[in-house]
Amino acid sequence: LFLSQSQYARDILQRSHFAALKPIATPMSVKSSQTEPIDTTLSNHTKYRSLVGTLQYLTLTRSVLSYAVNRVCQYMHKPTIAHFQMVKRILRYVSGTLDMGIQIHHQSTLRLYAFSDSGWAGCPDTRRSTTGFCSFLGSIILSWSAKKQPTVSH
């Protein structure tokens, strides 16, 4: 069994007029700024929010997008051109990985594994930490999440 949203990903790229984007190897730059960039506010917040919402749905079968999409979700209230560039980078990654999904196959041993991690006070603007986890049954990923913690760690 293979779960994929390849047609949905193609539709996102077509509707947003980014189908011709040059693919990129990672959804987020390693050198990505950890603070909110001081930049020009977008004139069209609706397009930004719509694209980020569609990317959130795409994370249901693409756990690798979770952290990058989490980051761009944090700027929904007042997105800037720099934030839109982050979304565009995620879309470039999606354009190069259209057939990515979750492969579910028969296994003789089904052990439950779980992993978690968090960055302590990783956001310099709010001093809040980001926590992530993933759980597997054998080699099949069952659930995953990356989100900013609601309170400041001390």
Give whichever of 74-78, 90-94, 125-129 has the largest mean pLDDT.
Answer: 90-94
Residue-wise pLDDT tens digits, 95-146 = 999 999 888 777 767 789 999 998 877 676 777 888 889 998 888 888 888 8
Predicted confidence band of residue 72 (pLDDT cuts 50, 70, 90): very high
Residues 6+ apart with CB under 8 A from 54: 12
Burial string for 24-41 (b: 16+ CB within 10 Å, else e) reads beebbeeeeeeebeeeee
CB count, 10 Å around CB of 88?
A: 14
With tokens 């990356």, the residue in question is: 146
Looking at residue 146, its pLDDT comes to 81
Stretch 66-93: mean pLDDT:
93
Stretch 61-89: mean pLDDT:
92
Predicted confidence band of residue 35 (pLDDT cuts 50, 70, 90): low
Predicted confidence band of residue 28 (pLDDT cuts 50, 70, 90): very high
What is the phi/psi pair of residue 94, to 5°? -60, -40
Higher pLDDT, 21 or 89: 89
Q: For the chain, give the number of residues.
A: 154
Choose among 81, 85, 63: nearest CA to 133.
63
Determine the Cα–Cα distance for residues 37 and 23; give it in Å rounded to an integer: 24
Looking at residue 32, its pLDDT comes to 62
Q: What crossing angle do the helices spanning 45-58 and 81-96 adopt, rounded to 10°?
A: 30
- The mean predicted confidence, pLDDT, of the chain is 87
Looking at residue 98, its pLDDT comes to 94
